[in-house]
C-alpha cells in the first residue's frame, strides 16, 4: 500500500490537534483572526471524517492490500476522501457552518457510500477471514449508512423553521451516536479481529458472537441515552436503559472473548504495543460504564448541563479509545515501530490525554459540588493540547523517518 495514505491520516490527526490547541489558546488570548466557532466546526468534523474515518479505512487497506484486485479504485477513494476532507476543513475555517462547508460535508457522505460499497464487495469475496471479523465490519457499514440520516435530516429541519428546536439537536446526536458507538467501534473491532486471526492469536469466537449481538441490537435503543435531557416519556427511558445495559454486557463479552489472547500477544508484539492495547480496552470499558450513569434522569440532566463533562466524554471516546485503537493497530501492522521517537511520542500523547481528561472531568465535578473551579484551568488545557500535538507530530516523524516501513 502507498505510504502516502498513512501520511494522509497523520496530516489530519495533526491538524485536528493543532486546531484544538488554537481553541485552547483562544480562552487565554482571544483573537479575531478566525472566529472560534469556525475552528470548532472544522476541528470536530476533521476529527471524525478526516482522521478517524480515513485512519480506519487505511487499516483495512493495510490488511487486505495484497488481495484487493481493484487497487486503483481503493487509491481513488482514499485520495478523494483526503481532498474532500481537506477542502471541508478549510471551508469551515473560512465561513463556519455555511453553504460551502455543508456542500463538502454532503459530498463526504456520498464518498462514504462509495467506501461502503467497496468494502462490502471486497470483504464478501474473502473466504479465509474469520466470520466474527466480517460480522463486525458488516454491522459497522450498516451503522455508517444509518448515521448519514442525521445530517440529511438537518436540511429538512432547517427548511421547516425548526433549527432552534430540539429536533436539530436530536439529528446531531443521532449522527454522533451511530458514528462513535456504531461505525467506528464496530469497524475498528472488526479489523482488529482480522489482525489477530492472521497472527494465529486465539480468541473465544462464541463469546465474541454473543458480545456482538448484544451490542449491535442494543445500539439502536441506546441512542436514546444521548437525548434523555428531553422529556420524551417513560417508554423512551425504558429503551435507553435496555440499550445502555445491553451495550455494557456486549462490551464485557467482547473483552472476555479476548482474554486468552494476551499471552500470545506478549510473544508477538512489543511492550509498547501491549500497553497501548491495554489502555484501549480499559478506556472502552470505562466509557461503557460511564454511559450506565446516564440511566438516572437526574444525573443525565446534570451531565448534559455541564459543558466540561460533555467535552470530556467526547474526547475520552474519540481522542482516547478510538485514536489509541487506531494507533495500536498501526503498531500491530508494523506502521509504527518501537523507535525511541515513537515511545516519546506515545508518552507525550498519553500525558496530554490524561491531563486533558483530568482537568475536564475534575472541573465538572467541582461545578456539581458548587466549589470554586480548578486554578489555571484554561492554561492547563492549553498545556495538555500542546503535549498532545507534540506527541502526534513525533509519531508522524517516527513513521516518516522509517523508510523500510513500507507495505
- Enumerate residues 6+ apart whose C-beta is below 8 A from 225: 240, 243, 244, 291, 294, 295, 300
* Alpha carbon of residue 321 to chain centroid: 7
Residue 41 resides in a domain: yes
Give the C-alpha distances (Å, rounded to integers) separating 213 from 73, 174, 208, 238, 354: 32, 20, 9, 19, 32
Q: Is residue 350 part of a domain?
A: yes
User: Is 44 a member of any domain?
Assistant: yes
Instruction: Give the pLDDT score at 403.
Output: 67
Q: Are 242 and 218 in contact (CB under 8 A)?
A: yes
Q: Give the pLDDT score at 237.
A: 86
Q: Using the 3D structure, point to which of 126, 152, 167 is the last residue of a domain.
A: 126
Residue 193 counted as domain residue = no
Q: What's the pTM?
A: 0.94
Last residue of some domain: 91, 126, 161? 126
pLDDT tens string for the chain (407 positions)? 889 999 999 999 999 999 999 999 998 888 778 899 999 999 999 999 999 999 999 999 999 999 999 999 999 999 999 999 999 999 999 998 888 988 999 999 999 999 999 999 999 999 889 999 999 999 999 999 999 999 888 877 877 777 777 788 888 889 999 999 999 999 999 999 999 999 999 999 999 999 999 999 999 999 998 887 777 778 888 999 999 999 999 999 999 999 989 988 998 999 999 999 999 999 999 999 988 887 877 777 777 778 899 899 999 999 999 999 999 999 999 999 999 999 999 999 999 999 999 999 999 989 888 888 899 999 999 999 999 999 999 999 999 998 654 44
- Does any domain span residue 250? no
**End-to-end Cα, the chain, rounded Å:** 5
The domain tally of the chain equals 2
| Domain membership flag for residue 10 | yes
Residue 348 grid coordinates: 507525550
What whole-number distance in Å separates Cα of residue 187 and Cα of residue 137?
5
Locate 376 and state its grid cell: 489555571
Give the whole-angstrom CA distance, residue 107 versus residue 244: 33
* Nearest alpha carbon to residue 65 among 135, 197, 57: 57
Q: Write the CB contacts of 231 (distance below 8 Å, at least 6 apart in sequence).
A: none
Q: How high is the pLDDT of residue 293?
A: 81
Asked if 226 contacts 206 with a C-beta cutoff of 8 angstroms, the reply is no
Q: How much is the pLDDT for 176? A: 92
3-state secondary structure of 24: helix
* Burial of 17 (C-beta count, 10 Å sphere; 0-12/13-18/19+): buried
Cα dihedral sign, 395-400-401-406? positive
d(CA 345, CA 298): 40
Q: Which domain holds residue 63?
A: 1-126
Where a domain ends, among 60, 95, 126? 126
94 within a domain of the structure (yes/no): yes
Amino acid at each position: 500500500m502507498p505510504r502516502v495514505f498513512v501520511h494522509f491520516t497523520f496530516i489530519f490527526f495533526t491538524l485536528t490537534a493543532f486546531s484544538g490547541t488554537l481553541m485552547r489558546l483562544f480562552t487565554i488570548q482571544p483573537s479575531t483572526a478566525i472566529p472560534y466557532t469556525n475552528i470548532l466546526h472544522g476541528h470536530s468534523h476533521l476529527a471524525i471524517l478526516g482522521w478517524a474515518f480515513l485512519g480506519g479505512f487505511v487499516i483495512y487497506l493495510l490488511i487486505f492490500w495484497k488481495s484487493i484486485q481493484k487497487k486503483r479504485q481503493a487509491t481513488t477513494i482514499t485520495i478523494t476522501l483526503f481532498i474532500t476532507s481537506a477542502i471541508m476543513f478549510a471551508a469551515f475555517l473560512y465561513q463556519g457552518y455555511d453553504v460551502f462547508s455543508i456542500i463538502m460535508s454532503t459530498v463526504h457522505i456520498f464518498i462514504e457510500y462509495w467506501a461502503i460499497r467497496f468494502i462490502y464487495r471486497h470483504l464478501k469475496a474473502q473466504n479465509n477471514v474469520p466470520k466474527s471479523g466480517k460480522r463486525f465490519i458488516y454491522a459497522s457499514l450498516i451503522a455508517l449508512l444509518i448515521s448519514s440520516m442525521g445530517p440529511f435530516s438537518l436540511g429538512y429541519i432547517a427548511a421547516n423553521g425548526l433549527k432552534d428546536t430540539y429536533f436539530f439537536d436530536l439529528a446531531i446526536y443521532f449522527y454522533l451516536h451511530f458514528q462513535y458507538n456504531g461505525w467506528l467501534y464496530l469497524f475498528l473491532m472488526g479489523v482488529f479481529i482480522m489482525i489477530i486471526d492472521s497472527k494465529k492469536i486465539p480468541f473465544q469466537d462464541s463469546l465474541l458472537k454473543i458480545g456482538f449481538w448484544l451490542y449491535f441490537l442494543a445500539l439502536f435503543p441506546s441512542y436514546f441515552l444521548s437525548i434523555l435531557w428531553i422529556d420524551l416519556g417513560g417508554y423512551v427511558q425504558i429503551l435507553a436503559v435496555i440499550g445502555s445495559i445491553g451495550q455494557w454486557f456486549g462490551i464485557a463479552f467482547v473483552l472476555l472473548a479476548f482474554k486468552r489472547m494476551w499471552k500470545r500477544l506478549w510473544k508477538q508484539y512489543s511492550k509498547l504495543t501491549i500497553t497501548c492495547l491495554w489502555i484501549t480496552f480499559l478506556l472502552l470499558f470505562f466509557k461503557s460504564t460511564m454511559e450506565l450513569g446516564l440511566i438516572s434522569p437526574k444525573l443525565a440532566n446534570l451531565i448534559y448541563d455541564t459543558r466540561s463533562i460533555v467535552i470530556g466524554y467526547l474526547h475520552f471516546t474519540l481522542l482516547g479509545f478510538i485514536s489509541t485503537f487506531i494507533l495500536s493497530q498501526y503498531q500491530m501492522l508494523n506502521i509504527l515501530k518501537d523507535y525511541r521517537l515513537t515511545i516519546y511520542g506515545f508518552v507525550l500523547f498519553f500525558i496530554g490525554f490524561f491531563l486533558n481528561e483530568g482537568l475536564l472531568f475534575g472541573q465538572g465535578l467541582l461545578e456539581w459540588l458548587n466549589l470554586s473551579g480548578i486554578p489555571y484551568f484554561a492554561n492547563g488545557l492549553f498545556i495538555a493540547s500542546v503535549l498532545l500535538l507534540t506527541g502526534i507530530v513525533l509519531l508522524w516523524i517516527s513513521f516518516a523517518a522509517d523508510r523500510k516501513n513500507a507495505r
